Amino acid sequence: MSRKKFFLVSFSIVLIIGVLSFALVKGEVRDERPKRIEENSIGVIDFEEIKANHNLNSQIRHLEERIANHRLTHNNEIENLVKTQENIDKHLGSFNEQLERRLELLQERAVEGIKFRREEMEKELIEYHSSLEEDMVEDLMEFKNGLIEEMEKEVGEVRANFNSELKKYKAEVNRKYNSDIINLRMRTNQSHLSDEEREKAEVKLEELMGEREREIIEIEDYYDNKLEKIITEKEEVFEGELLKYRESLEREFKETLLEKERTLEEELSAYINAEEKRLEEEMKEKERELRAEIEGNLIDSQDRLVKRAKSKVRGLEVEIERLEKQILNLRNNKINDIDKIIEEIAKEKGIDLVINNYVDNIDGNNITKDIIKEINIER
């Protein structure tokens, strides 16, 4: 699939959004999200992020640095040529300026490298911190759920035992009172009783039934209070064990994070020391090269200096042109490689259309990370 097919869909998407927006303003669509395009048939990417993560970038940056150095040298040589033609002393003095500028450029590159390395370290530490937190929360929830399951099981067993005992006690109470209650009920139904005798029998019946109910309520309250006390005790144990485990995880979290920080700091320190040593050696070498060139110019005549300077300028121009062509080829290769990978991944995931610079109300499968991952595999 060509880049044109993948990326020149922005106008269509804008047109779709415009139509939907017009419908919303006119009241034709109320409180309803635009219909989704089939999610699996459309892919979305961040092309700038993909380009920024391509493995050819380091080669391009290296060539750009070389071009920058050549341009700096080229400009200096042009300046030196003019100065040489005017005055040999000024010409030689410009080499000292060139030396200072070259050394400054080396220092700036080293500082940028250290800054980039520190930023990467901080980013890695933040990601590591988040990962540790997620693991800690997951471990804590797993431990908590285990405690809850264990406590519910124990409480369930106790409740079952209490219910069994309560059932037996109720049966005993009923046996204790049922005979008298039944006799009294039968007596109240006898027709030969006087009103006074029937009233006494009914009062006695109510008293017996009340006593039976009070005994049952009393034992129920006893078991309820006993069960509540057991639950409270187990909850206290539960909270204590959970707190203890949380504190253990937090200590482990802090120790692990601190160890990671120390490791990264040691790596950064080693990198800085190596960079400083490398920079020192490189600066000495550059200084020797430039000073040797200065000494040669002191020996040569003014005409020879001019000829050499012109030749060097032309050589730098040719080299810059060659490097620029290399950069252009690399950039084209990068775009072609990205297009090929996009096509492969889209085909693999069954995606019919890939959109760059997509909008929020268009759903799709974001394959940016997949493309970056594939780019960084040796191809």
Query: In the chain, how many domains are there?
Result: 1
The boundaries of the domain holding residue 144 are 3-375
What's the rounded Cα separation, in Å, for the pair 102 and 133? 47
pTM of the model: 0.39
In the three-class reduction of DSSP (H, G, I as helix; E, B as strand; rest coil), residue 375 is classed as: helix
Which among 245, 230, 227 is positioned nearest to 145, based on CA atoms?
245
**Residue 129, phi-psi category: left (phi > 0), alpha (psi -120 to 50), beta (remainder):** alpha
Region of poorest pLDDT, from 181-185, 227-231, 328-332, 357-361: 357-361
Which among 360, 369, 350 is positioned nearest to 45, based on CA atoms?
369
Q: Is 129 in contact with 257 (CB distance < 8 Å)?
A: yes
In the three-class reduction of DSSP (H, G, I as helix; E, B as strand; rest coil), residue 334 is classed as: helix
In the three-class reduction of DSSP (H, G, I as helix; E, B as strand; rest coil), residue 8 is classed as: coil
What is the pLDDT, as a whole number, of residue 361? 52
In this structure, the chain runs to a length of: 379
Per residue in 249-288, pLDDT (tens digit) is 889 888 988 898 888 888 888 888 888 888 888 778 877 8
**H or E stretch including 91?**
helix 88-188
In the three-class reduction of DSSP (H, G, I as helix; E, B as strand; rest coil), residue 45 is classed as: strand
Per residue in 91-101, pLDDT (tens digit) is 555 666 766 77
- Stretch 353-373: mean pLDDT: 76
